[in-house]
Amino acid sequence: MALVKYGGGIIEMSGSIAGNTFARNHYGSYVRARTKPVNPNSALQQTVRGSLTLMAYRWAQILTAVQRTAWDLYGASVSMKNRLGADVYMTGFNHYIRSNSIRQQSGLAIIDAGPTTFELPEKDTTFAFTVSEASQEFTVTFDDTADWALETGAYLLVFQGRPQNAQRNYFNGPWRLMDNIAGVDTTGASSPDTQAAVFAVAEAQRQWLYARIARLDGRLSEVFRADNFVAA
């Protein structure tokens, strides 16, 4: 489905209509021929689909009416941005799956009780990294004074993108979970954190990471990213 913003005509469009796909990148809006993606049905895809199926089952069969109402209230109270930058409100069902499917895939406990703080965790604007071909390791830096870092049961989930040629300026997947950095009451998580690459890297390649913050109460931040070139 395409999202369209009207003005004195069409100001912006995102999504697909008939054989055309409308999108925007760093250079502005563009349109391309719509292509049907290949479905390799990989082990990772099966894991993700299984997680979504599990969360939908838990919502319908495991959660109590009180828990579902709490997630609905959270969804109605927290605005998010769609692809055109407009404020939208997701359902409690959407938030429950959004928050818990990534937790389940990352080996974290599922949170059934709806959050009672009506805001998303803040992104970490200091998130950065260096990476070395020799060690095949990332050194990830982050704000270790942030609320999540001082909360046992909260995590910074870090994902590595597939390495790219140096001239590449944009990347949007595929991604693989690299590691979870755990918050710790009182003492806090320790920055920097060293993590082993899940995709092998080579000197001068361009590398992207993305991260999300998962709080103890089930709230999940929006994505934030960093990029750098691979050192020797």
> Tokens 């944009």 correspond to what residue?
170
Q: Which pLDDT band, with edges at 50, 70 and 90, does 191 fall under? A: very high
Query: In whole angstroms, what is the distance from residue 88 CA to residue 76 CA?
Result: 9
The Cα–Cα gap between 167 and 161 comes to 16
Q: Give, in words, the CATH class of 128-229.
A: mainly beta
- Residues above pLDDT 70, as percent of the chain: 82
Enter the DSSP assignment of 148: G
Residue 168 has pLDDT above 70, yes or no: yes
The answer to whether residues 92 and 75 touch, using CB atoms and an 8 Å cutoff, is yes
Instruction: Report how far residue 8's alpha carbon sits from residue 47's, in angstroms, rounded to the nearest whole number.
Output: 45
Judge whether residue 94 has pLDDT over 90: yes
Whether residue 197 is predicted with pLDDT greater than 60 in this model: the reply is yes
Cis amide leading into 40 (omega within 30): no
CB burial readout 84-100, b (16+ within 10 A) else e: eeeeeebebbebbbebb
Residue 229's alpha-carbon distances to 97, 132, 164, in angstroms, are: 34, 9, 10
Confidence of residue 118 (pLDDT cuts 50, 70, 90): very high
Name the residue among 218, 225, 226 with its Cα closest to residue 120. 218
Burial class (CB in 10 A: 0-12, 13-18, 19+), 38: exposed
- Coil vs helix vs strand at 102: helix
Q: 7-11, 56-60, 66-70, 115-119: which has the minimum mean pLDDT?
A: 7-11
Work out the mean pLDDT of the chain and round it to a whole number: 89
According to the model, what pLDDT value does residue 16 have? 74
Q: How confident is the model at residue 212 (pLDDT cuts 50, 70, 90)?
A: very high
On the question of pLDDT at 152 being above 80, the answer is: yes
The residue ranges of every structural domain in the chain are 3-33, 43-105, 128-229
The mean pLDDT of 52-69, rounded to a whole number, is 95
pLDDT tens per residue across span 11-51: 666 777 766 777 666 656 666 777 666 666 666 667 777 78
Taking residues 206-217, what's their average pLDDT? 97
**Strand 206-214 vs strand 28-33: parallel, antiparallel, or unpaired?**
unpaired
Give the mean pLDDT of 105-126: 95
- Whether residue 161 is predicted with pLDDT greater than 80 in this model: the reply is yes
